[in-house]
Structure 1
Amino acid sequence: MEFILGAAAACSAGVLSNPMDVLKTRMQLQGELRAQGRYTVVYKNIVHAAIAVAKADGVLGLQKGLVAALWYQIVMNGIRFGLYRKVLDSGLISRKDGRVSTLGCVAAGAGVGILGGFVGSPLYLVKIHLQSQAAESIAVGHQHKHQGFVSAIVNIARKGGIRGLWRGSSSSIPRVGIGSASQLVAYSKSKDWLDQYGLYPHDSWQSTLCGAMSSGLIVSTCMSPFDVVATRLYNQGVNSQGQGLLYTGIKDCIIKVAKTEGLKGFYKGWSAIYFRIGPHSFFNLLFWDYYTNLYKNYSKQKI
């Protein structure tokens, strides 16, 4: 049931946050391995990017890769939130006074995030491919030209086999590990603090909003460099042997981005990441708490 609750919450939030995820992907791929000022700026900021996508690809272009994104949410966050709830309820990371241990949060959040990210890696790969596809006038990064979700899976598997579906999965380990740990730690600790001082009613939407938005800010800052690297590795084209055309791995990608794009290259699309993660975190955690409490109340009535 924890898996179902986590997946349902993630999908509910995913529908609302996917447009910002599309913009984030495009902005991260813009000017790939080129110094600032030596490439055409297609997307100036998230507002300009949204208008550009809507004009060139239509309003529905902002929901590209939605099917893959929702399936990824089901697998990744179903595992992540489901297992994290199990850990919280078990009391393994709680102190004697009932408060959650920071170190325990970090370990549990990173662990469940890495597991969920690895299992869902093929879906993340397809999501990136589909979100990066655009009309020629606003296209950035490698264009895979899939016809849809199923077509993408078939094409990738046909070229690289089952192993090809997990291409770039190594980059998901630091990305989801750091992202998951920072989000769940910041959310859990802020909720503890709010509950301790009684600023808002326990498990209210106000405490969820404060916890989610603060965690979104922290996650965006901590995860951005790893998110950029993951997007580049997942989206790059491959040769006939399935080897990347631009990067051989995480280390090679980091070195090349640092040399050509500098520190700013690792924070491309930061605003889009925050405005994707902030609201997504809020709605994800809000739905998670809501569905969990709904299930608990239903279980009590049934008894």
Structure 2
Amino acid sequence: MSPAYFVAGGVASVGAIFFTNPLEIVKIRMQLQGELAAPGTYVVPYRNTIHALVTIVKNEGWTGLQKGLVPAMHFQFILNSIRIGFYHTAVRNQWTSNESGGESFGKNLLLAISAGAVGAYLSSPFFMIKTQMQSEAPKKVAVGYQHHHTGMYNAMRKIYEKNGIAGLWRGSFACIPRVTVASGAQIATFAEMKALLHEHNLVVQPSLNTVCGGFLAGLVVSITITPPDVIATRLYNQGVDAQGKGLFYNGWSDCASKILRIEGISGLYKGFWTTYVRLTPQSILALLFFEELIALKNKL
């Protein structure tokens, strides 16, 4: 098991998040606006992706587009060093091969889900802090609960002092469905899409094949990940009492049922197009950076 795959997976994802973090902020804001309010009964400060980007710059400056970048980098490194590292180690050692020597969809899916679950749990505190920092905004465009952190370490200290170590892992089990669904859909579908494009001689050039496979896989991932992503955002961002109990939701199923009952099915798909616009370049950049890092390592 080569450590290079794990390090490269983490570093590649950190490199990608520099470019996609602004879209992550937009996605968070759109998922939180109109929280537990019926459609048409609330103000919509973020109408679409472009409008949201302009609104953030107008009210928070250009630096507002990189809020939560530090915890986002920690989250991406931990999650993807495990997720991508295990996947490529498995492929290299032919653990995911079927009897005919090709890639097994079932084995790819099982590996992606397992690695994603481990990575999601270990990186959960950083995902929570990232979410809370990215939701913070001036009062006139604020959505969701406002935590008022001044930085990642300030957030960690505040959460630990109020709710202990358990507070830092609050909502961790909500993140697991989000990441396992994404991991399964992304890794398994990405491999299938790349193979399909290559086998039918549609796109055979390696880098272009990766890009096109990423665009196709990104649509599938966005459709499957958006509902658990909305739920994870709501659970992580809600305020808690002195005992660490959520002010709005009691858990994953309670959150899902309240969204469906009050906001309808569209509530579970808030920020869908922003999710797709963010996920596709994130996946492509991370995988391209990974392949370049491994190629560089092999030359040394």
TM-score interval for Structure 1 and Structure 2 normalised by the shorter chain: over 0.9
- The counterpart of 1:291, out of the listed 283, 290, 293, is 293
CA distance in 1 between partners of 2:116 and 2:93 (Å): 18
SS at match of 1:125: helix
| Partner residue, 2:135 | 132
Could you list the per-position Cα deviations for residues 10-31 of structure 1 after superposition, in whole angstroms to 9, with x for gaps in the alignment?
0110100100000000000000
Could you list the per-position Cα deviations for residues 68-92 of structure 1 after superposition, in whole angstroms to 9, with x for gaps in the alignment?
1001111111111111111111212
Q: CA deviation at 1:99?
A: 1.8
| Partner residue, 1:191 | 194
Q: What code does the residue aligned with 1:139 have?
A: A
| Partner residue, 1:237 | 239
- The counterpart of 2:211, out of the listed 172, 185, 209, is 209
Q: CA deviation at 1:2?
A: 1.4
4+ long deviations beyond 3 Å: 197-202
| Partner residue, 1:277 | 279
- The counterpart of 1:145, out of the listed 115, 135, 148, is 148
| Partner residue, 1:260 | 262
Q: Give the stretch that moved more between structures: 77-86 or 19-28.
A: 77-86
| Partner residue, 1:15 | 18
- The counterpart of 2:112, out of the listed 109, 125, 140, is 109
1:81 aligned onto 2:84? yes
CA distance in 1 between partners of 2:228 and 2:292 (Å): 31
C-alpha RMSD of the superposition: 1.1
Please list every run of 5 or more consecutive structure 2 residues that lacks an aligned counterpart in the other structure: none
Contact 1:99 1:192 in 2 (8 A): no
Please list every run of 5 or more consecutive structure 1 residues that lacks an aligned counterpart in the other structure: 299-303
Q: CA deviation at 1:214?
A: 1.1
CA distance in 2 between partners of 1:183 and 1:87 (Å): 16
Q: Matched residues, percent identical?
A: 40
| Partner residue, 2:49 | 46
| Partner residue, 1:225 | 227
Q: What code does the residue aligned with 1:270 have?
A: F
SS at match of 1:295: helix
Q: CA deviation at 1:198?
A: 3.8
Could you list the per-position Cα deviations for residues 90-142 of structure 1 after superposition, in whole angstroms to 9, with x for gaps in the alignment?
21211233321111111011111111011000000100010001111110000
CA distance in 1 between partners of 2:251 and 2:42 (Å): 24
| Partner residue, 1:247 | 249
- TM (normalized to structure 2)? 0.97
| Partner residue, 1:162 | 165
Q: Give the stretch that moved more between structures: 41-50 or 187-196.
A: 187-196
SS at match of 2:269: coil
CA distance in 2 between partners of 1:195 and 1:241 (Å): 55
Q: What code does the residue aligned with 1:255 have?
A: S
CA distance in 1 between partners of 2:64 and 2:101 (Å): 47
